[in-house]
Structure 1
Amino acid sequence: MKYAEKYGVSRASRKYNKSRSYIHPNQHTEAELKLIWDMRRRNPKMGLIELWYRLRRRGYTRRPESLFRVMRKIGLFSAEEQKETYIPKPYEQMPHPGERVRVDVKVVPRKCIADPELRLFQYTAIDEFTRLRFLAAYPEQSTYSSADFLRRLKAWYARRGIKVE
């Protein structure tokens, strides 16, 4: 201890091949632990930083990291709940063509269109059994465009022998 007082804790830890905490332990005192315990008991829903701030006003001198570490050690933080692992649902294979057709609408980027004033919406339909895809582009996304797309989609699949349900 005399060497550490004269030359510093770091130099003493190197000379005697011991950690800094072994030479100069800086544990929480019983008074600090009681202060933390009492404050947490009275304010169980308070966040860590607000708790640390209020403790500082009552004489606590350590950093928030130390407060978190000691609170976890004495059991004031419950262990984090394990999230349920995601189990994907099995893919439901369609028994016949046309049973499920997925429809999607996307905005066509302006850099993909030659005319900078034109704005297009791409409607896409994919039959999940056959994976046949039908595309159409419309200048607006409206109920009229959607109804027209569905009418054309039904006719397109019918020409290929698929009845869309």
Structure 2
Amino acid sequence: MNIIAQEAKKRQAVVKLANRKGKSYASRKYGVSLSSVKRWCKRYDGTWQSLAEKSHRPHSHPKRHTASEEQLILKCFQEKFLRYGWDGVYDEAIKKGYTRSFSGMVYAAKRMGLGGRATDKKPPRKHDRRYPELLVPGKKVQIDVKEVPYHCLRGALKRDGKHLYQWTAIDECTRIRFIYGFEEHTPENTVKFFKMLQKVFPFKIQTIQTDNGTEFTYKYISDTEECPFDKALKEAGIEHKLIPPRTPWHNGKVERSHRNDQRYFYDWEHFRSLEEFNDKLHKHLLWSNRKSMRTLGRKSPVQLLKEKLKA
């Protein structure tokens, strides 16, 4: 029996005593105010449930969303939620003049019946983050390769049995990214991507972290031959850090960015050529680098990078 039921049954005993010996007697006997006894007697219908404590929640609030704000949320939800989720809805609402917090918008939307049922919350972390956040752009850049899902291919690409691959580099400090597509999964393309990366990122790269794929290293396939990517990094004076085998979570930021690419890009797009793929990939890159992120305090990677470069 919970505390609400216990309190209601105590009130029921007070009411029964009041009906037998009077309200004043019951008030003195149980040590409750006479006004409370009178109020309980009026509410009592023969069951203890009628005496249960009711909600004290107010029917309205001076800071509640206005009708125009709710209409704005609804419109942005209809435009952006299916593809971009709550973050996309909030970014669109901000562009249209919304001034409240992200959590306030989500709370109002849920009250309006938008977004479906709430999902179960993740359990809290049992330990602190293994790696501290880096504070200097370029201190460490994670690089990985994602194969383009087969269902995205159309036309000659699908007919000829070709594949497309996305190279991704993400700066651990600012989360700024650079992505580009190739048809072949080779070390030579990794070197091409690295040279493009050096021109794009406006800061000096100190360390590059990758997995142990042959497009990045020959560590596990040859003791004598050196990977072209390792040679390029040595010439540039950049450290190459390899994560332990079969531990993709060590490259967690680039892996997470690939999951976001799948959700926001590959689940919606199709490609008939490498040129079309890179054109759409460039537009997606511009969007993702300007997308506000909760982990960055609702700032976008571009905004944080500007702040870091000014400091």
TM-score between both structures, scaled by the size of structure 2: 0.24
TM score, norm. by length of structure 1: 0.43
Max Rg structure: 1
The structure with the largest helix share of the pair is 2
